Structure 1
Amino acid sequence: MQYYEDVEIGDTREFGEYHVTKAEILEFAEQYDPQPFHTDEDAAEESPFGELVASGWHTASICMRLLVDGPIQNQASMGARGVDELRWKRPVKPGDTLSIRTEIVDKRVSDSDPRRGYVDTLLEGVNQDGETVISWIGLGMIERRNPDAETE
């Protein structure tokens, strides 16, 4: 199990692989983001994207799944305080394969609860060509192994 004390600023990881299908793009969009360039191939051709593309929220959800299946499953995660700087950088298309890379950009012990550490992580979703399609800074909370120890 990875605790707050095991995480260092600058730590980086790359992992996961998720193949995005047209059927999945359509299904997600019809339920959660029914804009024409996500739900209708003909309309999408007339859009600035020129073709059907995944909802940004779908892309974020895929990356979150990769994150949970990756490092979070072996981490003493206590959830998150939010997300900063969410950016959709490139459209995700049917047939794309996504993976993620993460970098720890900040960490500190909670002032209000010494059992908890705050860890800010830059996440980038990357397509099969190495292009960043989405990025955000996750404001995670991780349990401290020894909450009685001196803070950093």
Structure 2
Amino acid sequence: MYFEEIQVGDYRIIPETPVCRDEMLEFSQTYNPHPVHVDETFAKTTRAGQILASGVYTFLLGWAHYVMQDFGGKETLAGTEIRMQFFAPVFAGDTLHGKAFVADTQVRNPYNGLIDVQVDLYNQNDELVLRSHSSEIIKRKNPAVPIHTV
């Protein structure tokens, strides 16, 4: 989808995704081996009382579903930024679901535009656990035609 075809408020559903213990631990042992993510004994001494999913792992569970149906598709040229906020812990056995939507658009240059995609992930209790914003460069359909923004 070209930049001109994308509107603020467009959305995609992130389907239910289980948080698998083995996958979660393997990710953390490789990429974020903090004791709260990999050491059951240590995790029991924390407020959560059990191993927490890494925030980056949690983000990637939702992101994997979003990129399969992203707004720009083949017209997405690159990403420029990702920001994440964490609101509640995620544990093995949780089930996540959510929504990705276009929060903002802006013309970047005569050839492409920039969209801000917000992804909200919720656990099985509909509690917000993660919010991310990513900026994506999307190809314009008609680069020679000026876009007037409000």
Fold equivalence (TM over 0.5): yes
Describe the SS at the equivalent of 1:71: coil
Q: Does 1:136 align with 2:132?
A: yes
When residues 104 and 72 of structure 1 are mapped into structure 2, their CA distance, relative to the original with a 3 A threshold, is closer
2:120 match: 124
1:40 match: 39
Are the equivalent residues in 2 in contact too, given 1:78–1:141 (CA < 8 A)? Answer: yes
1:115 match: 111
Greater Cα offset, 98-107 or 87-96: 98-107
2:24 match: 25
When residues 97 and 72 of structure 1 are mapped into structure 2, their CA distance, relative to the original with a 3 A threshold, is farther
Describe the SS at the equivalent of 2:65: helix
Tell me the CA shift for residue 92 of structure 1.
1.1
Tell me the CA shift for residue 115 of structure 1.
1.6
Q: Does 1:95 align with 2:81?
A: no
Describe the SS at the equivalent of 2:22: helix
Tell me the CA shift for residue 99 of structure 1.
2.2
Describe the SS at the equivalent of 2:147: coil
The alignment's TM-score, normalised by the length of structure 1, stands at: 0.88
C-alpha separation between the residues in 1 aligned to 2:10 and 2:124? 23
C-alpha separation between the residues in 2 aligned to 1:28 and 1:15? 21
Percent identity, aligned pairs only? 29
Are the equivalent residues in 1 in contact too, given 2:118–2:133 (CA < 8 A)? Answer: yes
| Counterpart mapping for 1:50-69 below 5 A | 50-69=49-68
Cα offsets for 1:83-116 (capped at 9, x unmatched): 23x20111111111222312212111113xx221
Q: Which amino acid aligns with 1:13?
A: R
1:104 to 90, 97, 102: 102
The alignment's TM-score, normalised by the length of structure 2, stands at: 0.89
C-alpha separation between the residues in 2 aligned to 1:12 and 1:53? 29
1:147 match: 143
Runs ≥4 residues deviating over 4 A = none
When residues 75 and 131 of structure 1 are mapped into structure 2, their CA distance, relative to the original with a 3 A threshold, is farther
Tell me the CA shift for residue 16 of structure 1.
2.4
CA RMSD of aligned residues (A): 1.7
